[in-house]
Amino acid sequence: MQISTREKNILIVAGIVLVVFASTRLFPALNAIYQSRADSIESVQLDIEREQRLIANTASWRERRVAVESQRSELQAQIFSGETVPIIEANIQRALSQYARDSSITVSSTRLAERLESDGWLLVSQEMSFRTDDAANTVTFLQKLETSVPRLQVSDFSLSRNRNQYTGSITVVSFARNISPATTVATRR
């Protein structure tokens, strides 16, 4: 069977239409599928790399967490607590007096505590006058304050000698946290 020229021309035109159709419709569709698959593979590879980094960093994050929790508990032990501001002030005064007695220092007088409140924090300043027969007792007293828990920080200190006795005054400050506004009173001065 022989194909006529006219049939050849029709087949050539059909081939050209097929090639045009394939190049305008089929190849872009195949290219889109290929690109989508390549993007999907790249996304999976990035996810794998990220997961591997997270796994590698897990140990360091655990160490950081333990360090932060330890530091938090240490800092929490440094501050005073109580239901109300007067209770916190009384706890600070009691601790200061106890450290003085433990150091063989006699408390002459204590002033009313001064307080300053800001953003849920309370700064309490407590002044105390004292006397002792031995200057070494004041060193012991200051050492006890330096290692006190909760922390009593010395902000002012004076010591003088009168005959066989030493007299002095000390002001310590300490902090408290989470004081409810309903239980606080205006700052005293």
What pLDDT, on the 0 to 100 scale, is given for residue 183?
A: 44
Residue 17 confidence class, pLDDT cut points 50, 70, 90: confident
Q: What average pLDDT score do residues 164-171 get?
A: 94
Q: What average pLDDT score do residues 135-146 get?
A: 94
Q: What average pLDDT score do residues 95-110 get?
A: 95
Is residue 179 pLDDT above 70, yes or no? no
What pLDDT, on the 0 to 100 scale, is given for residue 181?
A: 52
Is the pTM higher than 0.75? The answer reads no
Residue 182 confidence class, pLDDT cut points 50, 70, 90: very low
Kindly write down the DSSP assignment for every residue of 115-183, as one continuous string.
EEEETTEEEEEEEEEEEES-HHHHHHHHHHHHT-SS--EEEEEEEEEETTEEEEEEEEEEEEE---GGG
| Four-point Cα dihedral 22, 23, 25, 28, nearest 10 | 130
What pLDDT, on the 0 to 100 scale, is given for residue 75?
A: 84
